[in-house]
A and B are shown apart, each in its own frame.
Chain A
Amino acid sequence: MAYFILRRAFQSVLTVLGVMTVTFFLVRLAGDPALLLLPVEATDEDIRRLRSALGLDQSLIVQYVKFLTNALGGDFGVSLRQRTSALDLVLERVPATLELALTAFVLGILLAFAIGLLMRLTTSAKVRTTIMWLALARQAIPVFSFGLILILIFSVWLRWLPSLGRGTIQHLVLPALTLATYELALYLRLFNASLSAEQRQDYVRTAYSKGQSRTTVILKHMLPNALLPLVTIAGINLGLLLGGTVVTETVFSWPGVGRLIVQSVSQRDYPVIIAGVFIISLIFVLVNLIVDILYGFLDPRVRVA
């Protein structure tokens, strides 16, 4: 197990390095930031001086090596727009993203777990079909439209909740609901499908042949197996959520990492973009590492050779 974790941790580091390299070169392909930073009437001399100040006149390889060395020391440079540390700018936004993503994630997965299990234990197929249709319908609505519908109902018509910004718990309700219902629909459909698949497995028949009750077969035998695919998808999805839910953050003007990166892209504020991508890839890789380790504990087939 220790080797397994070590190997996966090593792979994670490589992944983050890879992501940073790709981002660095991609950003450079997008155009010269010096041109964008200076007013239109700037002279060639101004441009040259700024480029030299930013280190843009050196060869790309030298810039890249310098960038990596600095990044390893936690220095991603200074935001071209705001003149403060790019990493600090990003880190400032992390709590907002964490708050929204974790609320939505926990809400979604807990509800999915509870509803999915209750559906299985109370054996009404009709109720189950109806719920699954609702879930499918929710999945079919894009986050963007769903967010706007919520704003329309709860902020514009009912005037119960604020539509923009972050601050009080009321601010959190609408964006969290937008994301949580999506997560709920996703996990519920997945959980239901994986429980149905487990129901047909031979070991379930074995359990019944022992004289086991339906409830125990579901809880003791099917559930641990049905959770395995859920853990994998949840890991990937949590990573995505934590990486910033760009659309939701934009719709509700939520000051998260996703929104910051979108703004920085349009301003070609490349130190911020790179710092943002770094943080996101770090979170993503970390979450997946945890999921893999968790998987090892849940599934003995992964644990031992």
Chain B
Amino acid sequence: MSSMDQNQPPTSASPEPVLSVRDLVIEVPSEQGMTRLVDGATFDVFPHEVFGLVGESGSGKSMTMLAVMGLLPAPVQLTSGKVILRGQSLTDLSFEQMRKVRGKSMSMVFQDPMTSLNPVLRVGSQIAETVRLHNPAMSKAEVRARAIELLGLVNIPDPERRYQQYPNEFSGGMRQRVMIAIAMANDPDLLIADEPTTALDVTIQAQVMKVLARVRAKTGAAMVLITHDLGLVAETANRVAVMYGGRMMERAPVDPIFAQPRHPYTVGLISSLPRLDRNVGELYSIPGQVPNLAKRPPGCVFHPRCALSDGRSPCREQLPEFRQVGADHRSACHFAEEVAEWSRKTAVVLSGDVAHGSDRKEPATKAPVLRIEQLSKDFAIRRRKGWGHDHLKAVRAVSLSLASGRTLGLVGESGCGKSTLGRLILRLIDPTEGKIWLMDADITTMKPSRLRPKRKELQVVFQDPYASLDPRMTVHEVIAEPLRINGRYNAARVNELLQHVGLSPEVAGRRPPEFSGGQRQRIAIARALALGPDVMILDEAVSALDVSIQAQVINLLKSLQRELGLSYLFISHDLSVVHHISDDVAVMYLGKLIEFGSRDQVFGSPAHPYTQALLSAIPAPDPARARSSERIVLSGDMPNPLSPPSGCAFRTRCLKATEKCAQLEPELVERTGPAHLSACHYADESGVEQTSRRKVGAS
């Protein structure tokens, strides 16, 4: 992405703001009276700029912008405050008057492209609708022509044909581009993008952000980017506001936010992020849980989790003022002046290279605890046209081994087969071909009765901490269940496990719904640990968690591994987390393993063009670097796994693809170094080029 022109500060001395938000208060009625979701949001957005609104779930960032659009979901209501768009106060407008503003001078792109379009209406008519609404004088043909033009503008190939299609014929990335087309239809002054790429894979995120930048450059619209992704903000935004518990914590231009943050929460947030350009043994983590807004703590909303506050009385008693601490820099901290000194002292590190973590393990010497060989899985999919079935090759001849006490990171985008592989190893589904060994025992075709005792050696933690715990069981029962099944129940053991994962044994009588996401994931980990497994499969185990909570859980997993000598198969789409936690890394694409090596090999000198593209697509939480680095943006989507391309599966999106790639499928062999396997005919050249351009995590 040409981030150069994007991160340019707003042109010339501060003009009139496009949007001014003043002291916004948003509340929702609850049993204890009114609960404040947003408490005093105040900011300006200037022409042409990207204003980043950052925060974790429950911070009130989306609510703030929905209120600006006048789209708060009932019974949430705007209690007080002002919203001024281009000099016009929106808070006094009626629904009918707001209709003329929405979709015209201001528009919004939402998080989930799979549900944000109407499934039963043609894509074209959904774009045309916006055009027609605000241009009643336009003829039918003109509206249609404009909608097709818009489809072309957001890089939808063959817009004439696509105009006629329904949303289900579009991929996630394409649907989000359609949403952008809808939002940009009437050249709005302000575009609000609410987590526009959170539901998408990184390579698709890069495509969508590129399209967003291009259409904005064309129309000059200002943008509010709501996101939890600090990397995306560093790369895209000019100015940033950080929200927490419904309040604004800090607001400043993007460089000082990352280089000299003046609020302990911002410091904590930035430091809890696992990063590709750093090797640290342990992540900084903000202690405690996201606040319950119904029981908002008095004084500073962040003080119960704040290490800088250290229980000082102003933090507990007085609401900190959102005060000026520098040029265009505000912070809501009583002790903002101490932040820099504190972060240095407590070794909360913000930028530059850090002392490398010393917990790197020696290369594997012992026999593998888990080994798979040529493992394949075909799913029979019934044909929509004609009779019979097609075979979806979800996993294609994957061989891997996991050494004792190590972590193998398995990465790839959605649909690449990584989770299927995890389920195969767990024998939740049966492989079509290949072998699985667990501690020298072949479990590929083991009967359930013989497999059951083996299960205690291999446990799993799933992604969704809300769905993977039975809400009607107490925590004690959840953790005791595997023990009971194996006739090893013992109440003391349950308490011990709870302590292991950092929970108090007192919580054992409560039920999962009473816990937050991070706490539930700890419970799920305790359950997995109950039988003393040797191997744990962590299937996107930290992906659903907020950054500050994710860091806690990652640290827990690492310390458990040290203490108990566990081996992890860590399945994730998040390369930064994989980089932080893994010793070895395997990359999958379309059911095949395309690269395997030590962490430093794969991240430091990636051999496969796909790995290179993946790494380059990740926005770094460092504005200066984001501006200077070149990005490889892959075109298109992952091919349909029902009809994979001939030869190399990646060739359809690869910059290096030649005739040879279409004819000859590259084997996964050592090409660029000892024990560094890759499946690319041109692996050598590309690897060298990559290292020279980006120095990533090499130690």
Contact = CB atoms under 8 A, between A and B. Distances in A.
A121 to B, nearest CB: 15
6 contacts: A3-B383, A201-B115, A210-B102, A211-B100, A211-B101, A304-B384
A301 interface: yes
A287 to B, nearest CB: 23
A305 interface: yes
Given A3-B386, A301-B166, A301-B168, A207 B119 contact: no
A301 B122 CA distance: 11
Nearest to A213: B99
B71 A203 contact: no
A7 B121 CA distance: 26
A11 interface: no
B115 A203 contact: yes
B384 A3 contact: yes
Interface in A1-41: 3-4, 7
B166 A207 contact: no
A298 B104 CA distance: 31
Interface string B117-140: 111110000000110011000000
A211 B99 contact: yes
Contact of B130 (A7, A210, A213, A225): A210
Interface stretch (B106-114, B457-465, B492-500, B587-595): B106-114
Given A225-B118, A301-B166, A202 B112 contact: yes
Contacts of B117: 203, 206
Interface in B70-123: 71, 73, 95-96, 98-104, 107-108, 110, 112, 115-121
Contact of B69 (A203, A209, A214): A209
B295 interface: no
Contact of A209 (B103, B119, B166): B103
A7 B99 CA distance: 47
A205 B119 CA distance: 14
A202 B133 CA distance: 20
Contacts of B169: 300, 304
Contacts, number: 90
A4 to B, nearest CB: 7
A212 interface: yes
Given A207-B118, A210-B133, A3 B385 contact: yes
Contacts of A304: 166, 168-169, 384
A55 interface: no
B182 interface: yes
B520 to A, nearest CB: 25
Contacts of B248: none
Interface size bracket, B side: 35 or more
A299 interface: yes
Contacts of B129: 207, 210, 212
A304 B385 CA distance: 9
Interface in A262-305: 298-301, 304-305
A130 to B, nearest CB: 20
Nearest to A209: B108
Interface in A46-92: none
A203 B130 contact: no
Nearest to B132: A210
Interface of A: 3-4, 7, 200-203, 205-214, 220-221, 224-225, 228, 298-301, 304-305
B179 interface: yes
Contact of B102 (A211, A214, A220, A228): A211
Nearest to A223: B120
B71 A208 contact: yes
Contacts of A221: 118, 121
A224 B117 CA distance: 14
A202 B116 contact: yes
Interface of B: 69, 71, 73, 95-96, 98-104, 107-108, 110, 112, 115-121, 129-130, 133-134, 166, 168-169, 179, 182-183, 383-387
A207 B183 CA distance: 11
A219 B191 CA distance: 27
Nearest to B102: A211
Contacts of B104: 211
A209 to B, nearest CB: 5
Given A3-B386, A206-B110, A210-B129, A301 B103 contact: no
Contacts of B96: 213
Given A3-B386, A304-B384, A203 B100 contact: no
B263 to A, nearest CB: 32
Given A211-B100, A212-B133, 19 more contacts: A202-B112, A203-B115, A203-B117, A205-B116, A206-B179, A206-B182, A207-B129, A208-B102, A209-B69, A209-B103, A211-B104, A211-B130, A211-B133, A213-B99, A225-B118, A300-B168, A301-B166, A301-B168, A304-B169
Contacts of B118: 203, 206-207, 221, 225
Contact of B120 (A4, A200, A298, A305): A298
B205 to A, nearest CB: 19
Contacts of B120: 224-225, 228, 298-300
A69 B52 CA distance: 76
A98 B684 CA distance: 77
Contacts of B99: 211-213
Nearest to B168: A301
Given A202-B115, A300-B119, A209 B107 contact: yes
Nearest to B130: A210
Contacts of A205: 71, 73, 110, 116
Complex A-B, nearest 10 residue pairs according to Cβ-Cβ distance, in ascending order: A300-B166, A305-B384, A211-B103, A210-B103, A202-B115, A211-B102, A203-B118, A210-B130, A211-B99, A202-B116
B385 A301 contact: no
A7 B384 CA distance: 10
Contacts of A200: 73
B98 to A, nearest CB: 8
Nearest to A300: B166
A34 to B, nearest CB: 46
Residue among A4, A203, A225 with max Cβ neighbours from chain B (10 Å): A203
A304 B383 CA distance: 11
A96 B388 CA distance: 43
A205 to B, nearest CB: 6
A305 B386 CA distance: 12
Contacts of B110: 202, 205-206, 209
Contact of A210 (B115, B119, B182, B386): B182
A215 to B, nearest CB: 12
Given A209-B103, A210-B130, A301 B119 contact: yes
Nearest to A214: B95
B568 to A, nearest CB: 36
B174 to A, nearest CB: 15
Contacts of A298: 120
A305 B385 contact: yes
A221 B133 CA distance: 15
Nearest to B131: A210
A301 B117 CA distance: 13
Contacts of B166: 300-301, 304
A207 B99 CA distance: 11
A2 B129 CA distance: 32
A208 B66 CA distance: 11
A201 B73 CA distance: 11
Given A3-B385, A206-B182, A211 B116 contact: no
A205 B102 CA distance: 11
B4 to A, nearest CB: 31
Contacts of B387: 3, 7
Contacts of A220: 121
A61 to B, nearest CB: 31
A299 B169 CA distance: 13
A40 to B, nearest CB: 57
B294 to A, nearest CB: 22
Contacts of B182: 206, 210
Contacts of B119: 203, 225, 299-301
A122 to B, nearest CB: 16
